[in-house]
Amino acid sequence: MADRHNVETLVVLQPIEVDTGSPDRKGMLVIANGLLVAVLVRLDAPEHETPGHWFLEATFGRFQGLRAPPFPTLETATQWLRRQLRP
Amino acid sequence: MHHTLSQKLEGYEALTDEDRLALDGLVPRVRQVGPRVDLIREGEAPENVHLVLDGFACRYKVLPDGQRQIMAYLIPGDFCDLNVFILDQMDHNIGTISQCQVVDIPRRSIDEITARYPNITRAFWWCALVDEAVLREWLVNIGGRPPSQRIAHIICELLMRLEAVGQVTGNSFAFPFTQTDLADSMGLSSVHVNRTLRELKAHGLISLKQRVLTIHDADRLKAYCGFTPNYLHLRNSRWGGRRAVPWVHSAQRG
In terms of domains, do B79 and B202 share one? no
Do B19 and B125 lie in a common domain?
A: yes
The interface predicted TM-score of the complex, written ipTM, equals 0.83
Predicted confidence (pLDDT) at residue B136 exceeds the cutoff of 70: yes
Q: How far apart are CA A24 and CA B210, in angstroms?
A: 25
**Residue B246 confidence (pLDDT):** 40
Query: Do B198 and A67 lie within an 8 Å CB cutoff?
Result: no
Same domain membership, residue B153 and residue B94: no
8 Å CB contact of A67 and B189: yes
pLDDT at B245: 38
Tell me if residue B195 falls in helix, strand or coil: helix
- For residues B10 and B97, membership in a common domain is answered with yes
The Cα of B191 is separated from the nearest Cα of chain A by a number of Å equal to 7
* Interfacial residues of B (vs A; Cβ cutoff 8 Å): 67, 179, 189-191, 194-195, 197-199
Q: Are A71 and A54 in contact (CB under 8 A)?
A: yes
Looking at B144, B170, B188, the residue that finishes a domain is B144
Distance separating alpha carbons of residues B129 and B135, to the nearest angstrom: 10
Q: What is the CA radius of gyration of chain B?
A: 18
Q: Which of B74, B70, B95 is nearest to B180 (CA)?
A: B70
Tell me the CA distances in angstroms from A71 to A41, A75, A80, one per residue in order.
10, 9, 9
| Same domain for B152 and B138 | no
Task: Check pLDDT > 90 for residue B92.
Answer: yes
Domain span at residue B238 reads 146-254
CB pairs under 8 A between A and B: 25
Return the CATH number at B80: 2.60.120.10
User: In angstroms, rounded to a whole number, what is the distance separating the alpha carbons of residues B179 and B205?
Assistant: 18
Helix (H) or strand (E) holding A80: helix A74-85
pLDDT digits (tens, 9 = 90+) for B170-195: 999 999 999 999 999 999 999 999 99
Mean pLDDT of B209-220: 96
Indicate the pLDDT class of residue A41, thresholds 50, 70 and 90.
very high
Other Cβ atoms closer than 10 A to B70: 23
Q: How buried is residue B152: exposed, middle or buried, by Cβ count under 10 Å (0-12/13-18/19+)?
A: buried
pLDDT above 80 for B56: yes
Q: Can you give the pLDDT at residue B61?
A: 97
Chain B closest CA to A77's CA: distance in Å? 16
Q: Which residue, B10, B109, B1, is CA-closest to B50? A: B109
Q: Is B179 close to A49, i.e. CB distance below 8 A?
A: yes
The H-assigned helical ranges of chain B are 3-10, 17-26, 107-116, 118-144, 147-164, 179-186, 190-202, 218-225, 240-253
What total number of domains does chain B contain?
2
CA of B211: how far to CAs of B153, B154, B178, in Å? 18, 16, 9
Residue A22 at interface with chain B, using a CB cutoff of 8 Å: yes
| Residues of chain B contacting residue A67, judged by C-beta atoms under 8 Å apart | 67, 189
Q: Measured between beta carbons, which residues in chain A are less than 8 angstroms from residue B67? A: 67
Instruction: For residues A39 and B211, give the distance between their C-alpha atoms in angstroms, rounded to a whole number.
Output: 33
CB B228 within 8 A of CB B239: no
**A48/B198 Cβ within 8 A:** no
Nearest residue of A to residue B66, measured between CA atoms = A67
pTM of the model: 0.87
Work out the pLDDT band at B63, boundaries 50, 70, 90: very high
Residues B139 and B154 reside in one and the same domain: no
Contact A21 B195 (CB under 8 A): yes
pLDDT tens track for B112-123: 999 999 999 999
CB–CB contact A67 B67 (8 Å) = yes
Nearest to B26 by CA among B93, B123, B110, B86: B110
Average pLDDT over residues B37-51: 91
User: Quick one: B136 and B210 in the same domain?
Assistant: no
Do B140 and B23 have their domain in common?
yes
